[in-house]
Structure 1
């Protein structure tokens, strides 16, 4: 890794090359994430890529997540062990999905998982209601009748099988029509 010394002892040139192949991140971006990630390791306990950090620690370093209304879902989806903590590789997965180079269909699949609040493998009316409440911070900007109209409109557009719920394939198809989506489901590292 050139003249800079990584705090992650296990991040060899070979592993770095594997990360480049397995993610949508460049070598420079991965090294930068490694340096940023190393800032969380104030006690220098980080010996390998499996060390896990709390979501609070991750938010302090990756401020893009700190005020995101979906931060708990993002941590839930990207925490490989489902323990509310994230490893270096979990962070790489997150940054890869949020990369400008990540294909829109891959971004949409991750977004689907984030918006599936009840974890049933579909996005239903309840999931959409939760998403709207989070986006408006539950401030009552929408009357219930307006919210129901939006949900009905979204379901009419996305629920191609008219099953009352949206599958991941239907969601990817629908999101593919939204030109702003890739730019809104993105952050720079």
Structure 2
């Protein structure tokens, strides 16, 4: 740990460990990976904030169709620019040690594009567009049919949108959710 830990006091490492699902060594690894995103900016400045486009150079984040939403959700200013603490929080939630309910809460926020605490038709349309990619060009009729199928399956109170409870109910029926909602350090 020697030289790598010099940027953090033992108390800071303990605090990070208490607030995440990581060990101290994993926290140091996370900081190393964060620093690799912009070594010229992070250097010895543990309070550096990286712009969203720099965050996208993290391989698993850059390949994710929701990368901008993920950065905005975890960014302390919700502008997508991330400090190390934002990055650590994000990586902790996406770690294999984060509980299912924590992952579900963050997934819901990522998919709730308009921030109204419901995943409505417009939110579902954006989720589908991002998941299938623009090259698929679903017809409007196919898109509406797909959205209606989702709502028929998951909208238990028939209000035309998914509440967090309804979303969590669907997630709980999906055994592979936690393995899909994961990024490795």
Do they fold alike, i.e. is TM over 0.5? yes
Count of residues paired in the alignment: 184
- Aligned partner of 2:149 in structure 1 is 153
CA contact (8 A) 2:154 2:162 kept: yes
Q: Residues 62-83 of structure 1, C-alpha deviation per residue, up to 9 Å, x if partnerless?
A: 1111121111111111111122
Which string of whole-angstrom CA distances, capped at 9 and with x for unpartnered residues, describes residues 27-83 of structure 1? Answer: 2211101112222232555423x32111122222x1111121111111111111122
Q: Distance in 1 between matches of 2:104 and 2:118?
A: 13
Whether contact under 8 Å (2:74, 2:82) holds in the other structure is yes
Structure 1 residue matching 2:147: 3-state secondary structure: helix
SS at match of 1:139: helix
Structure 2 residue aligned with 1:132: 128
Q: Is the 8 A contact 1:105 1:176 kept in 2?
A: no
- Report the CA distance shift for 1:153/1:44 in structure 2 as closer, same or farther (over 3 A): closer
Match in the other structure for 1:114? 110
The alignment status of 1:99 with 2:95, answered yes or no, reads: yes
1:42 corresponds, among 33, 37, 40, to 40
Q: Which moved more, 1:141-150 or 1:179-188?
A: 141-150
Q: Calculate the aligned-residue CA RMSD, in Å.
A: 1.7
Task: Name the structure 1 match of 2:26.
Answer: 29
2:17 pairs, out of 3, 16, 20, with 20
Deviation, 1:95, is: 0.3
- Superposed CA deviations along residues 156-182 of structure 1, whole A, max 9, x for unmatched, are 222122211111122112111111111
1:173 aligned residue (166, 169, 173): 169
1:104-132 CA-to-partner distances (Å, cap 9, x unmatched) read 11101100000011111110111111111
The SS at the match of 1:150 is helix
Matched residue of 1:42: which SS? helix
The answer to whether the 8 A contact 1:77-1:114 is kept is yes
Distance 1:161 1:56, change over 3 A: same
Bigger proportion of residues as helix: 2
Unaligned runs of 5+ in 2: none
The whole-number CA distance in structure 2 between the counterparts of 1:148 and 1:46 is 51
* Structure 1 unpaired stretches of 5+: none
